Amino acid sequence: MKQPSKNLSSGLERQLSMYALAASAAGVSLLALAQPADAKVIYTPTHKWLPVNHYSYLDLNHDGIRDFELYLRSSQGSGYFGTFFTRSLTVRWAATTQRQNEVVLFTSNNFVCAAALPKGTKVGAENFQGQLPAWMFLNNHGTQGSEFYAGPWLNIAKSAYLGLQFAIKGQVHYGWARLGHIRHDKPVRALLMGYAYETIPNKPIITGKTKGPDVITVQPGSLGRLAQGSPGLAAWRKTGDNK
C-alpha cells in the first residue's frame, strides 16, 4: 500500500493520527496509519431538519449501511366525526435484516415508545428489552375536539437522546442520536443534531458525550477523504474540511 506523502506537514500528520481510528471503524483501509488501542467514541455533529413524509436515515459508523430510519409524518383524513390530523415521529431499523438493531424503550399512555433520554445516560446491554419499530411521538386530533397522544418526544424544546444498539459485522455496538426542537402541531418538525457510537463491541456509551481524549469528531464527508489516500488528504486540508 502506498505510504502517505513525506511532504505532508507535521500538523496534518497529527490530524491523521486522530482520524486513523475513525477511518478504520468506517471500513477504510489505512494500514499505514497507527491506530490507538484505546476505545473511542466516534461523534458526528449534524444540523438536519427531518423532511416531512419522507424517510431519513442514520448511518452511525459511516460504512454505507443504513442502521436506522426516522419517519416524520403529517397527514389528515376525514370520517363520521369530522377531519382528523395525525402527526408522528417513528424510529425503526432501515432493513428487515437488521432486526437486532434496537432503541431504548419507554411506556407512554400504554404504548411502548422510544425513550427520550437525558444527557449523561449510560447506554448498554441492560437498556434493551425489545425490538423496533417504535413511536417517538404520536398525536391524533380531530375537529370535533377528540385527541390522542403518546410518546415522550412531544414538543421537546431543546433536545433529548435516542439510545441505540446496532451491529457492525455481527458484533453489537452502542450509540446515541440527539434530536430537538420538536413540535407536533402545525408545522410538525424535528431537528437531528448529532449522533455517535462506541467502536468497542459491547462497551456502553454515555449520551451527549462529545469531548474528551476518547472522542473523535468527524464530519460526514471526512472519512471519504481519508479513503482516497494522500491526494484526498491534501484536498481535505486545502478545502477546509478539517476545520
Which of the pair, 129 or 120, is modelled with greater confidence?
A: 120
The predicted model gives 102-107 an average pLDDT of 91
The predicted model gives 119-130 an average pLDDT of 91
Give Dmax (Cα) for the chain. Answer: 75
Confidence check: pLDDT of 5 > 50: no
The predicted model gives 152-165 an average pLDDT of 89
Domain locations in the chain as residue ranges: 1-40+219-243, 41-213
Read off the C-alpha cell for 6. Answer: 513525506
For residue 133, what pLDDT band results from cuts at 50, 70 and 90? confident
Q: Please choose, from the candidates 169, 174, 162, the residue with its C-alpha nearest in 3D space to the C-alpha of residue 125.
A: 174
Which of the pair, 84 or 179, is modelled with greater confidence?
A: 179
Q: Please choose, from the candidates 39, 31, 33, the residue with its C-alpha nearest in 3D space to the C-alpha of residue 12.
A: 33
pLDDT at 8: 39
The predicted model gives 157-169 an average pLDDT of 92
pLDDT at 163: 96
Identity of the amino acid at 152: P
Residue that has been written with the C-alpha cell 464527508 in this structure: 221
Query: How do residues 206-223 score in pLDDT, each as one tens digit?
Result: 999 999 999 999 987 655
- What's the CA gap between 189 and 174, in Å, rounded? 26
**Coil, helix or strand at residue 23:** helix
For residue 50, what pLDDT band results from cuts at 50, 70 and 90? very high
CA distances for 199 relative to 22, 36, 155, 207, angstroms: 9, 11, 32, 15
CA distances for 93 relative to 39, 40, 127, angstroms: 26, 24, 17
pLDDT at 88: 87
Query: How do residues 9-43 score in pLDDT, each as one tens digit?
Result: 444 345 544 544 444 444 443 322 333 446 699 99
Beta carbons within 10 angstroms of residue 115's beta carbon:
24
Percent of the chain with pLDDT over 70: 70
Which of the pair, 39 or 200, is modelled with greater confidence?
A: 200
pLDDT at 13: 46
The predicted model gives 176-205 an average pLDDT of 92
CA distances for 120 relative to 67, 102, 171, 203, 208, angstroms: 23, 19, 24, 15, 6
Bond from prior residue into 187 cis (ω within 30 degrees of 0): yes
Read off the C-alpha cell for 52. Answer: 416531512
Per mean pLDDT, which of 12-26, 144-158, 164-178 is the most reliable? 164-178
Q: List all residues 6 or more positions away from 220 whose beta carbon is below 8 Å from its beta carbon.
A: 44, 46, 62
For Cα atoms 149, 151, 154, give the angle at the middle one, nearest 5 degrees.
Answer: 80
pLDDT at 80: 62
Bond from prior residue into 133 cis (ω within 30 degrees of 0): yes
Burial of 64: CB neighbours in 10 Å, binned 0-12, 13-18, 19+: exposed
Confidence check: pLDDT of 102 > 90: yes
Which of the pair, 145 or 157, is modelled with greater confidence?
A: 157
